[in-house]
Amino acid sequence: MGHATNLGLNRDIILSTAEDDWSVALIYLGYFIFAVPSALLILYMGTTIYLTIILLVWGSLSIGMGFVKNVPLLLALRFLLGMTIAGFFPGISYFISSCSWYSGFRHRENGWNWWSRELAMALYFIGIPVVLLGIATFLFLDKISNPLRFLQPAEREILINNLCDEMEPDANEPEEKHYVQWCDIYSVLSSGKIWLFAAICVGNSAVTKYWIAYFPSLVKYIGYIDASESLMSSPPYASACVFALVGGLSAARFNGHGYHMVVFDIISVIGFALMAAFEGSSKVAVYVSGCFACSGAYAAFALLMAWLTINVSGRIRRTLAISFVVGLGQIGGVIIPFINDKSSVPDFHRIHITLASLMFVSMILTLLLLVIFNRQAKFRMENQLQVDEEANNVQCAELFVIG
């Protein structure tokens, strides 16, 4: 909605402040409500059919927003759009976790004026590729069986054999089980660690939703207009991509997702604090600080999802956990519109302080989760040492008797 507002949406569909807030919040409210039900539908319908349906509906709704004539229709489409896209992320995660080549690694009004026509074309260009992607998903997704064609046949065979050895079913999820049971849902909803993951996700989600909805307005406030506005909205995402890739590789190399998340949370907190401090004095400093704030939050979110999948066993429970955590995290997107100041002379100081506080709370919760996991690992290690010691004592006693 950030770019849509700057392209003249409020001039064509007269939105009050409350209606503008709800136009942003409703998409995340729909996501929040439909997150877990969408995961259940994925598990029952299969990824190919479900992803095809949601991509076609997603694209159609995006195109339909180009024909919106009144506020109720806009709000309804925003809510339906949130319900639709709720299943995309867990659906992709479930598909990837089901692939043999990846699973072992464990782990996205008529009569427009000139500005209105530009906005309509933007919505069309967003929606049409999504519809085409939905058609391609239906035609080709099931045919992706072995994409490791860049490997030599012998190398591919060795890798697949190793992955098959790593994919042995655990005691909690037999190999032949491909359906959801109430115990799966209960195990996810009753886990304190899953709720901690979700609470952390609320902070990260608030930042990402703010960036999507309001950063274009901040760029315009800084002084960039028209094409420059859209262009200058891109660098934070480019830097976030680099941060996420480097952080992901480093976390996988050193097996320290939680510690890396803390580092990126600190970067984001400092970035938002500097944005609040420099507002009104240095617009360049606000923009550069925003790049770091965005990069830290997005990288932390990527690591959060990876850390979650590593610590949840079984594809079904993993899909439910991802849906629940990401869905509950949308609360951050729901509350942000009602915190942001949208006066004629915008004041971003309050929202940046709020986001810095949310990321700080996320950092504290991440540290708490680290302590819990470290204590559990220490407890398991002590138990294993005790078992090994008892086994050695029994073996020594048997040798003594034989001797």
CATH number of the domain to which 294 belongs? 1.20.1250.20
Task: Indicate whether 74 and 196 sit together in one domain.
Answer: no
Q: How far apart are CA 98 and CA 319, in angstroms?
A: 11
Q: How sure is the predictor about 351, in pLDDT bands with cuts at 50, 70 and 90? A: confident
Task: Indicate whether 280 and 354 sit together in one domain.
Answer: yes
Residue 245 placed within a domain: yes
Task: Indicate whether 291 and 390 sit together in one domain.
Answer: yes
pLDDT given at position 62: 79
pLDDT given at position 393: 67
Q: How sure is the predictor about 231, in pLDDT bands with cuts at 50, 70 and 90? A: confident
Say whether pLDDT at 187 is over 50: yes
Mean pLDDT, rounded, for 146-166 = 60
pLDDT tens-place string over residues 328-341: 888 888 888 887 66
Say whether pLDDT at 40 is over 90: no
pLDDT given at position 58: 81
Mean pLDDT, rounded, for 12-26 = 76
pLDDT given at position 118: 37
Task: Indicate whether 259 and 327 sit together in one domain.
Answer: yes
Residue 273 placed within a domain: yes
Residue 157 placed within a domain: no
Task: Indicate whether 273 and 329 sit together in one domain.
Answer: yes
pLDDT given at position 196: 93
Residue 289 placed within a domain: yes
Residue 159 placed within a domain: no
Mean pLDDT, rounded, for 366-376 = 92
Residue 165 placed within a domain: no
- Domain of 363? 183-403
Q: How sure is the predictor about 233, in pLDDT bands with cuts at 50, 70 and 90? A: confident
pLDDT tens-place string over residues 130-149: 556 656 665 655 555 455 55
Q: How far apart are CA 293 and CA 277, in angstroms?
A: 13
Can you point out the beta strands (E) in 109-266? none
pLDDT given at position 358: 92
Among residues 143, 167, 197, which one ends one of the domains?
Answer: 143
Q: How far apart are CA 330 and CA 378, in angstroms?
A: 34
Task: Indicate whether 12 and 129 sit together in one domain.
Answer: yes
pLDDT given at position 360: 95
Task: Indicate whether 95 and 208 sit together in one domain.
Answer: no
Phi, psi angles (nearest 5°) of residue 102: -125, -30
pLDDT given at position 96: 64
Residue 164 placed within a domain: no
Task: Indicate whether 275 and 343 sit together in one domain.
Answer: yes
Task: Indicate whether 136 and 189 sit together in one domain.
Answer: no
pLDDT tens-place string over residues 25-34: 888 888 888 8
Among residues 83, 113, 143, which one ends one of the domains?
Answer: 143
Task: Indicate whether 337 and 236 sit together in one domain.
Answer: yes
pLDDT tens-place string over residues 259-314: 999 999 999 999 999 988 988 788 888 888 988 998 999 999 989 988 888 888 77
Q: How far apart are CA 369 and CA 360, in angstroms?
A: 14
Task: Indicate whether 199 and 117 sit together in one domain.
Answer: no
Cβ within 8 Å of residue 7, ≥6 positions away = 115, 116, 118, 119, 122
Say whether pLDDT at 49 is over 90: no
- What does pLDDT average to over the chain? 75
Q: How far apart are CA 216 and CA 294, in angstroms?
A: 13
Global pTM value: 0.72
Q: How sure is the predictor about 125, in pLDDT bands with cuts at 50, 70 and 90? A: very low
Say whether pLDDT at 374 is over 80: yes
Q: How far apart are CA 403 and CA 401, in angstroms?
A: 5
Q: How many domains does the chain have?
A: 2
Task: Indicate whether 90 and 210 sit together in one domain.
Answer: no
Residue 153 placed within a domain: no
Q: For residue 23, give the nearest of 86, 72, 88, 85 by alpha carbon.
A: 72
Element (H, E) at 390: helix 349-402
